[in-house]
A = this chain, B = another copy of it.
Amino acid sequence: MLFSKLFIPILKNNPSEAVIKSHQLMLRTGMIKQSSAGIYSWLPLGFKVMKKIEQIVREEQDRIGAQEILMPTIQSSEIWKESGRYEDYGEEMLRIKDRQNREMLYGPTNEELITDIFRTSVKSYKSLPQLLYHIQWKFRDELRPRFGIMRCREFYMKDAYSFDLSDEEANFSYNKFFLSYLRTFQRLELSAIPMAADTGPIGGNLSHEFVILAETGESKIYSDKRIFDVNSNKTKLEKNSLNELREQYEKFYAVTDEKFNKSEFEKNVPEQYRLHTKGIEVGHIFYFGDKYSKPMNASVDFQGKKEFVKMGSYGVGVSRLVGAIIEAKYDEKNEIMNWPISVSPYECAIIPLINKNDNSNLEKAHNIYKYLNEKEVDAIIDDADENFSSKIKKFNLIGIPFQIMIGKKSEGNLLEFNEIGKKTQNLPIEDIAKIIINKKKIN
């Protein structure tokens, strides 16, 4: 793949409208382009990253047995009137009248629609549990959209819903998503902490926000540092194992400011472990019982009785994660981005020094590309007619984790090879391929 053939409109300088680093980087490397306030187009580089994140989110949903469906973006107001949220939701809901003057809306979330699908499809408790998810565009008409795709109006989200017969079974479903979120963020190389959270406009009584630490975050967080040592690597998809995982996390104080209580924090967290910083919410899970199933009459037959199903909902901001990863990984001062290889737009950049009347470096680059391609390493050749240092600067910004430089310093078999943030090495292509493949395996 040649850089000159790709649609990657790079900007030389930080655009003035961008104040946080993910917004700056995404505009500068041509990942996105704003089309109107809080609404963006995804250009090839940004699109590739978002699709890779989407696929990881999907695989981790499938792994806990959730089934993928797809609900439409435009909904009728009627189901929202049934649940009682049509009036409550306020101006963030984009309300629409169609040509027949019917009240429609662009879905900001999907509890009502999924409940409607469930109640017309499932009649017996034997069909429970059901875990359903979809990945779809949503719209929230923010008064002041800002920070690029971090606080925009049209955004891409995975939302899942669980249906169970009892609170106990519903807790099992809740815990499955708890695990799947930990696994998802781990594959994205993000350390996300589950924090007790308010349930907000969706309502309910059990809720966790998954938050990553970032100075530019919008939420204040208070936690016990020891929570970072908990992990789900040994957790199995079984009731007991999942309960243990939850207990391990809940042993440590970790809340957002809505739930913060100073004396509790100080009582429960020894001083040396206290962490008070900012974070970015990347996922949110809720349990809300029969909040929707009751007013919307979604029930199953159980032992001759009608039981309203117990529901939970589980969201991950897929487009938002692109920005969140940048906030976590971008070294703004040195202008160096480093994508986790699992979501990087390419896996290796091949950067030849191009002299006029001498194609030998470009030819070498093509041979290296071919070799890496056979090993299923997704590489890109920078065939642009620029000086070496501008090329390196550009690729530091694009953030592909590995670079091969073909210039004066390459001698014989040895290539100048750089893993972003590490020292340059001179290595044969075979060794380089091994390093890259090895890195992919870990993820």
Contact = CB atoms under 8 A, between A and B. Distances in A.
A219 interface: no
Interface string A112-125: 01001100111000
Contacts of A36: 74-76, 78, 102, 104
A47 interface: yes
A407 interface: no
28 contacts: A4-B126, A7-B67, A7-B69, A7-B121, A7-B122, A9-B120, A9-B121, A30-B121, A33-B121, A35-B72, A35-B76, A35-B113, A35-B117, A36-B104, A37-B102, A39-B75, A39-B76, A40-B72, A41-B71, A44-B67, A47-B69, A47-B70, A73-B137, A74-B153, A94-B98, A94-B99, A96-B96, A137-B137
A44 B70 CA distance: 8
A154 interface: yes
A139 interface: yes
Contacts of A104: 36
Contacts of A39: 72, 74-76
Interface string A8-32: 0100000000000000000000100
Contact of A41 (B72, B76, B106): B72
Contacts of A50: 70
Interface residues of A, number: 56
A33 B121 CA distance: 9
A43 B134 CA distance: 10
Given A9-B121, A41-B69, A43-B121, 4 more contacts: A42-B70, A47-B68, A94-B99, A96-B106
A348 interface: no
Contact of A74 (B65, B78, B127, B139): B139
Contacts of A43: 69, 117, 121
Interface string A413-442: 000000000000000000000000000000
Q: Which residue, of A96, A113, A126, has the highest number of chain B Cβ atoms within 10 A?
A: A96
Q: Which residue, of A37, A41, A73, A132, has the highest number of chain B Cβ atoms within 10 A?
A: A41
Q: Which residue, of A37, A72, A122, A153, has the highest number of chain B Cβ atoms within 10 A?
A: A72
A118 to B, nearest CB: 9
B69 A120 contact: no
A130 B121 CA distance: 46
A73 B234 CA distance: 42
A42 B30 contact: no
Contacts of A71: 35, 41-42
Contacts of A42: 69-71
A91 interface: yes
B116 A35 contact: yes
Contacts of A132: 7
A39 B107 CA distance: 13
Q: Which residue, of A7, A65, A92, A121, has the highest number of chain B Cβ atoms within 10 A?
A: A7
A117 to B, nearest CB: 6
A72 B113 contact: no
Q: Would you list the 8 A-B pairs with minimal beta carbon distance, nearest first?
A: A9-B121, A36-B76, A42-B70, A91-B99, A41-B71, A44-B67, A39-B72, A72-B154
